[in-house]
Amino acid sequence: MSSSVTLPQALRAWAQVFMRRSMTDFMRYARDSGLSMQQLGALFYLCRRDSRGVSDIGDDLGVTSAAASQMIERLVQQGLLERSEDPHDRRVKQVVLTAKGKELIERSMQARQGWLEKVARLLTPEQQETIIASLKLLTEMAQALDQEDLLSEDHGFLMRKKR
């Protein structure tokens, strides 16, 4: 099994196609839904974290609290988000996804990943099994690297904190 293409080159080529295709489909979905990428970013942020305050969302998106507040207001008006009082501090407003917001996120993920189904249908069952086994191994290795990165970040934090 001699090849002039190295594994890192093959991985880069796949990642490039994957990102270009999935982002193109995702951006098309955003445009068709009438939402900006920043608005979708806020929805995804809340999808991963349940409820958060306006300033948390602004921090995550790299915008001011005022800009985040305006964006959230538009999303509330569209029925995608809901605001409520923080049970611990009534001055703070918590923001959560509505059922309509969760549905929109699900549809955006389907739009972004739908082409993968088409690619899978082009492969024979044997090819699919080979790729599944390879992707499982790659995923395990990537997760191991993630854990190493987290541990070294935690260790670095502990080292800085002790000083």
Q: What is the pLDDT of residue 163?
A: 42
Provide the whole-model pTM. Answer: 0.68
Query: 109 and 95 in contact (C-beta within 8 Å)?
Result: no
Secondary structure (3-state) at 84: strand
Cβ of 71: how many Cβ atoms within 10 Å?
21
Q: What is the pLDDT of residue 71?
A: 92
**Phi/psi-derived region of residue 62, left when phi > 0, alpha when psi is between -120 and 50, beta in every other case:** left
Q: What is the DSSP letter of 83?
A: E
Q: Hey, what are 158's tokens?
A: 């502990």
HSE of 138, CA atoms in CB hemisphere, 13 A = 12
Domain 7-122 part of CATH 2.60.120.510? no
Q: What is the pLDDT of residue 147?
A: 87
Q: What is the pLDDT of residue 162?
A: 45
Secondary structure (3-state) at 103: helix
Cβ of 94: how many Cβ atoms within 10 Å?
19
Q: What is the DSSP letter of 82?
A: E
Low-confidence stretches of the chain (pLDDT beneath 50): 158-163
Question: Residues 102, 107, 108, CA angle at the centre, nearest 5°?
Answer: 95
In angstroms, rounded to a whole number, what is the distance separating the alpha carbons of residues 148 and 161?
A: 20
